[in-house]
Amino acid sequence: MKSVGVLALQGDVREHLNLLDSLGVATAEVKKPQQLELVDALVIPGGESTTIGKMAVRFGLFEPLRLAIEAGLPVYGTCAGMILLSGTVIDADQPLLGSLDVLVRRNAFGRQNESFEAGVDVEGLSDPFPGVFIRAPWVEKVGAEVEVLGSVDDHPVMVRQGRILATSFHPELTGDGRIHQMLLDLI
């Protein structure tokens, strides 16, 4: 049986675990480096990207996480997870894994009170995905290996690079498991 870990330092951990459970997948919280070896894929949840990054460094998880992704661990980052996976972030000084060749703008759609929901046409899905955008980033620039899978107002909000998947929206809040299934398909 496939096992998917959720980086459990801060953010929407429980919501991702619940959605993955609904797909019949074994799940685990990942808080320590050795727990990375026990999962077939990893979700980096939404939350506060600076806090998650600093906690990963403090708990000795940052470098093992970067190396696991580099070695081919399938990973899916939502919102803050997209930011952490990126190579560069505009207007922020925070730890970045540099695993995803994108330039990201934090809070690009606005502050908390400007959060919104929108249908996102995602490549490979027959119906629009119900995107929940909460202080969401967008991708300003993609590298040559990055495939844009979905956009809102001409701004990329879902990308894939090899076995890395990232969205600026929160599928874990919708009950719709189609994007999490895309992660499972990368295993």
Give the total number of structural domains in the chain. 1
Name the residue range of residue 65's domain: 3-185
The per-residue pLDDT of the chain, averaged, comes to 94
Residues involved in catalysis: 79, 170, 172
- Condensed to tens digits (0 to 9), the pLDDT of residues 62-105 reads 999 999 999 999 999 999 999 999 999 997 788 999 999 999 99
Q: Are strands 100-105 and 75-78 parallel, antiparallel or unpaired?
A: unpaired
Distances (CA, A) of 162 to 23, 26, 159, 166, 184: 23, 23, 10, 11, 13
Name the pTM for this structure: 0.95
What number is the average pLDDT over the span 9-32? 96
Domain at 164, CATH number: 3.40.50.880
- Condensed to tens digits (0 to 9), the pLDDT of residues 172-187 reads 999 999 999 999 999 9
